[in-house]
Structure 1
């Protein structure tokens, strides 16, 4: 593992959020002109090639990357992730980047809420309080019962729920599978699972949009590479809060390129959800340090 360098890790995480924001902006542009499943399929083809190259360059090669103790869960992870991305891209086209991401920021709260039933982890009253406050923020964004509420607003929440489940299953398989194994299965299963649906909606793109598609694939690869490096050089607890900066980049893209607006309720709700999420991440790290501390001798 690389030497710990928190400053470099934070810089890499900030760059990661910027690259992923650009990726989402391109995804919205392409999904407004082509079928979402085709766009996601091509993106996962590039992802599968990327993880395969990484596996071939590793010590054990492809054979080592395929070896998993949880084949069915690994397949489920890949399918859940590719479905989650499809749902989120549809949300981009229906709600816009800003509102979709404002709701999606609830996913750390969903991870905390589901960690008990899925992983058997204990969630204390402080985190449950933060989860409750965060969901109040989601309700402020969605405004259920008001004249502006749209059923499409549930899409980013469904995406956040799927991503939380994907994250929990990733944590579960990490008990026995290496991260490189999970990474390989994610890319390959996603590509295989998406291919029949994407090909069924195949449409030839214009030369310009093929360039955008290539850029989308590059941003996906670069973004994941930066994320891996960020976690490699610094502790997750130090860099994870900076992932929320993606909201800032998304807002800028929404304003400048897609003529989106930031409604006051969305801004307020996003602040509440983000604060609750950061607190939940912090409490999780506190509990992890406490549990790793040796108990005092009687």
Structure 2
């Protein structure tokens, strides 16, 4: 693996398909915040391991193994829910659920490939625009009204991406499109998740996401099967354990507090990714990447704040 290659991040933290069980008080919110911050650290660790393994094995192969392990975890969660497997498999929007599962699985493959080519820091700086893409696409996909303030935030965010990419400077390459493609796919996945939530429970969506993803990756991934070196087996095991532990913490966090209250803390993943990129992989945090990344994250936080305002006061 070359240290100068830029990389792409993995999908940012998302709310799992488990609904909150109680109204959060201040103590519960504090516990949920700690959980989501720790989960962000674990997801960043997972990104780093994905970058390392993705340089030695096919991203499709790595993603397939991850989904196999993750599906076992999801099955254990589903079987403990009321109605068990029968309740989880019953969806009122099965084809939309299938589309969600396929899109997320392929997005992870794109993300790992981006990690290898672009590096953790550059990838995450671009991928962080996915909340802005959700704002843009929420109109045509969900029929929501997007006000001028959020449109302005989107424009500012994309200016931040241009600062990161520095088009015309000779730094920009076709590989730089990978993080953006991953962000688009993840945004579409998020919007479809909101769409199916109108009819299906969170547990149903969680189940379909894992099963469809595992089936998809098995179909396209078995042909990429290759022997795993003994020295890489521990890292693969840690990668799978990270996925299990991080998602378990997410479930617990969203049982204690609403997703909208916890979303800003998921950006701490960017901090850890930057540290891992510099210390472990020898990446450079260029000034333009730092400035552009701050602009993108700031624009994303503004869209989150506007969404909270609209929830309380109605559309502006």
Instruction: Return 5+ residue gaps in structure 1 as ranges.
Output: 293-298
CA–CA distance in structure 1, aligned partners of residues 237 and 93 of structure 2: 33
Partner in structure 2 of residue 184 of structure 1: 207
TM-score w.r.t. the length of structure 2 is: 0.91
1:291: how far off? 3.1
Partner in structure 1 of residue 158 of structure 2: 135
1:34: how far off? 0.6
Partner in structure 1 of residue 129 of structure 2: 106
CA–CA distance in structure 2, aligned partners of residues 30 and 244 of structure 1: 24
Question: What CA deviation, in whole Å up to 9, does each residue of 1:31-65 have, x standing for no partner?
Answer: 11111100000000011111111111111111110
3-state SS, counterpart of residue 289 of structure 2: helix
Q: 8 Å contact 1:237–1:282 — kept in the other structure?
A: no
CA–CA distance in structure 2, aligned partners of residues 58 and 239 of structure 1: 24
CA–CA distance in structure 1, aligned partners of residues 52 and 225 of structure 2: 17
2:239 is the alignment partner of 1:255 = no
2:117 pairs, out of 94, 103, 113, with: 94
2:228 is the alignment partner of 1:228 = no
Question: What CA deviation, in whole Å up to 9, does each residue of 1:69-107 have, x standing for no partner?
Answer: 000000000000000000010000000000000100000
TM-score w.r.t. the length of structure 1 is: 0.96
CA–CA distance in structure 2, aligned partners of residues 239 and 119 of structure 1: 23
3-state SS, counterpart of residue 91 of structure 1: helix
The 5 Å alignment of 1:1-298 reads 1-4=21-24, 5-291=28-314
CA–CA distance in structure 1, aligned partners of residues 182 and 164 of structure 2: 16
Instruction: Return 5+ residue gaps in structure 2 as ranges.
Output: 1-20
CA–CA distance in structure 2, aligned partners of residues 277 and 171 of structure 1: 18
3-state SS, counterpart of residue 239 of structure 2: helix
Question: What CA deviation, in whole Å up to 9, does each residue of 1:137-176 have, x standing for no partner?
Answer: 0111111222111110110000000000000000000001
**Aligned alpha-carbon RMSD (Å):** 1.1
Q: 8 Å contact 1:44–1:187 — kept in the other structure?
A: yes
3-state SS, counterpart of residue 258 of structure 1: coil
Which shows bigger deviation, 232-241 or 184-193? 232-241
Which protein is richer in helix relative to its size?
Answer: 1
Question: What CA deviation, in whole Å up to 9, does each residue of 1:214-264 have, x standing for no partner?
Answer: 111111111111112212211222211011111100011101111100111
1:3: how far off? 5.0
Which shows bigger deviation, 42-51 or 139-148? 139-148
Which shows bigger deviation, 211-220 or 110-119? 211-220
Aligned length: 292
